[in-house]
Amino acid sequence: MEKEEAGGGRERRTDGAEGREGELALEGLYRTERSSVFRAAYRMLGSVADAEDVTQELFADLHAGGLPELRSSRAYLVRAAVNRSLKLLGSARRRRERYAGEWLPEPLPDPDGPELPEQAAEQRERLTYGFMTLLEQLTPTERAVLVLHEAYGYAYEEIAIMLGKTPAACRQHGSRAKRKLSRARGEKEEAAADRKESRAGRAAVSMKPQEEDEADAARGGAAREQLIARFVEAFERARVEELRELLSDDAVLVTDGGGKVRAAMRPIVGKERVLSFLASPKILHSARAALKRLVRLNGEPQLLLLAKPGEAESILCLEADASGTRIRKLYLIRNPDKLAHVKA
C-alpha cells in the first residue's frame, strides 16, 4: 500500500540558475516514481497503452513547466495520474460502447526486474486480472475513489482534496463501488476477498512473521499453477470429462477480438456451455496447433498461445473460485492490439 500525504503540494518552481538541478531531480523522480504513476493510470484505464501515454505526458509537462518542490512527490504524481485518467475515461467509455463484442482490459506483464517489497505485495493484492475486470463495473469517479482508498490507503478526507469533492460524497462513491463489486463477485467470492483483506489489514499488528506470509503466497501461487497445468493438459488432450471437473458450475467465458479476429460477441455462461465451446472440434484443433507457454501477467501465471515463435495469437486468463480448486472465469483476449506489449 502506497500511503502518502494527500495534497502532494506545490511550494515553488525551479528555474533560472536552478534549472539544471531541477532537470536532474526530475530524472531521479522519473526513475523512482514512474512505475507508481503508470500503475495508478493502468488501474484507472485498464489499458497499457493509455497508461503509458498518461505517464509520458505527465512527466513531459513537468519537464516543460519546471519541477515543483514537493512535500510528497508520490502523492502529487498519483493524484495527477488519477485526475488525468478521469478526463480520459469519459471518451474511453464512449469508444467501448461502440466496441465490437466484449471489451476486456489489457493484461499487464509482470516487470522483468525486482520490485520493492511493498510494490510486489500491492501488485499481488490489487492488480490481478480478475480485479481489473471488476473495476469495469464502476463509474469513473467510483473507480478513482476505490483505487485511491483501497489500493493506496488514502482516507476519504484526503481523497476529497485530491478529487475536489466533499468527504461525504467520496464516502458515498466508495460505498457504491464496494456494493457493485460485491454483486459482481458473488457472495462467496466477496466473503473470501473480505477474509483476505482482513488478514492484510491486520498485518501491521500481527505476530505472524513475514516469511510465513511469503510462504502462504508461494503455496497459493503453486496451487494455481498446478490448476492451470491440469487445465492445459486436459485442453490439449481433449479430455472433456476432466475439463468438466475443472470448471465451476457458474463458469463464464468472455472473449475479446475487438472486431479484428473471430470471437464470441457475448459472454458464454454456465459450465456446460463453456465446455461446449472449449471442446468444439475447431477450438481443440486450434489449441493443439498453437505453441503454448505460461507467462506472468497481472501478478499471476496465465496461458499464452502463439501462432508461431514470436507471434502471440491469444491469451487465456483464468480465475479460480473461492476454493481455489475450480475455474470460475475464463478471459480469452484475441485482439492483436492488446497482445502487442506481451513478450512472445
Give domain status of residue 106, yes or no. yes
Give domain status of residue 6, yes or no. no
Domain that holds residue 180: 16-200
Residue 176's pLDDT is what?
Answer: 97
Give domain status of residue 25, yes or no. yes
Looking at 200, 227, 256, the residue that finishes a domain is 200
CA distance 300 to 108: 10
* All residues at 6 or more sequence positions from 343 whose CB lies less than 8 Å from its CB, including other chains: 109, 295
Give domain status of residue 3, yes or no. no
Count CA within 13 A, CB hemisphere, residue 267.
Answer: 14
Looking at 200, 232, 248, the residue that finishes a domain is 200
Looking at 168, 200, 232, the residue that finishes a domain is 200
Residue 276's identity, in one-letter code, is: S
Residue 338, burial from CB neighbour count under 10 angstroms (0-12, 13-18, 19+): buried
- The CA-atom distances, in angstroms, between 25 and each of 32, 189, 259, 307 are 11, 45, 45, 45
Give domain status of residue 187, yes or no. yes
> How much of the chain exceeds pLDDT 70, in percent?
78
Cβ atoms 255, 263 nearer than 8 A: yes
Residues 187 and 292 in one domain: no
Asked whether residue 52 carries a pLDDT value surpassing 50, the answer given is yes
Residues 52 and 185 in one domain: yes
Residues 77 and 187 in one domain: yes
Residues 127 and 22 in one domain: yes
CA distance 192 to 319: 14
Lowest-confidence segment of 49-53, 182-186, 188-192 by average pLDDT? 188-192
Q: What is the DSSP string of 127-163?
A: --HHHHHHHTTS-HHHHHHHIIIIIT---HHHHHHHH
Asked whether residue 278 carries a pLDDT value surpassing 60, the answer given is yes
pLDDT classification of 211: cutoffs 50, 70, 90:
low
Mean pLDDT value of segment 66-94:
84
Q: Which of 26, 86, 83 is nearest to 60 (CA)?
A: 26
Residues 103 and 46 in one domain: yes
Tell me the per-residue pLDDT of 150-178, one tens digit each, with 9 for 90 and over: 888 899 999 999 999 999 999 999 999 99
- Set of cell numbers at residue 247: 470448471
Residues 169 and 262 in one domain: no
- Set of cell numbers at residue 213: 506470509
Q: Coil, strand or helix: which one is 94?
A: helix
Sign of CA dihedral 173, 176, 178, 184: negative
Residues 180 and 119 in one domain: yes
Cβ atoms 2, 35 nearer than 8 A: no
Residues 137 and 268 in one domain: no
pLDDT classification of 138: cutoffs 50, 70, 90:
very high
Residue 120's pLDDT is what?
Answer: 55
**Residue 334 belongs to domain with CATH number:** 3.10.450.50
Cβ atoms 263, 340 nearer than 8 A: no
Give domain status of residue 209, yes or no. no
Give domain status of residue 207, yes or no. no
Residues 78 and 150 in one domain: yes
Give domain status of residue 11, yes or no. no
Residues 251 and 327 in one domain: yes
pLDDT classification of 200: cutoffs 50, 70, 90:
very low
Residues 259 and 168 in one domain: no
Quote the Cα angle for 213-215-220, to 5°.
95
Residues 306 and 227 in one domain: yes
The total domain count for the chain is 2
Asked whether residue 212 carries a pLDDT value surpassing 80, the answer given is no
